[in-house]
Amino acid sequence: MTEKPCIFHIANSTDVDALRENGEYRCESLTTEGFIHCCDKHQLTGVVARYYTDIDDVFLLLLDVDKLDAALIHENTTGGSELFPHLYGSINTEAVLDIVPFGIHSTERQGLSL
């Protein structure tokens, strides 16, 4: 059986609550930058190390790329060479495979080699 192609997004609890209530996920970067930052599995450790080391109240969204309604573009908007998946629109609930607690002491976060 082939593994579904998926990407990851680290979300704060307020935005996850809104997803559960409204049936779609939006976050601040969608308003301020026009897209939602995501990463591929191999990029997750680096993203956590750069931006979430001391942030505890977060969740990891696993997203099925085949079920996303928003445009998905792999790009680097900061001028580097590494491409990251960016979603140009909200995340529809059908695309959410799982919402995993991803606090500092979570098993999932501890499993990353930071």
Q: Do residues 91 and 61 make contact, with C-beta atoms less than 8 angstroms apart? A: yes
Mean pLDDT rounded to a whole number for the chain: 92
At 1, the pLDDT band (50, 70, 90 cuts) reads very low
pLDDT mean over 36-57:
95
Q: Do residues 84 and 24 make contact, with C-beta atoms less than 8 angstroms apart? A: no
What is the share, in percent, of the chain residues with pLDDT greater than 70?
A: 96
Q: Do residues 112 and 48 make contact, with C-beta atoms less than 8 angstroms apart? A: yes
Q: Do residues 83 and 74 make contact, with C-beta atoms less than 8 angstroms apart? A: yes
Going from the C-alpha of 112 to that of each of 24, 47, 72, 82, the distances in angstroms are 28, 11, 25, 20
pLDDT at residue 112, rounded to an integer? 83
- Whether residue 4 is predicted with pLDDT greater than 90 in this model: the reply is no
At 114, the pLDDT band (50, 70, 90 cuts) reads low
Give CATH for domain 6-110.
3.20.170.20
Residue 92 vs residue 2, higher pLDDT:
92
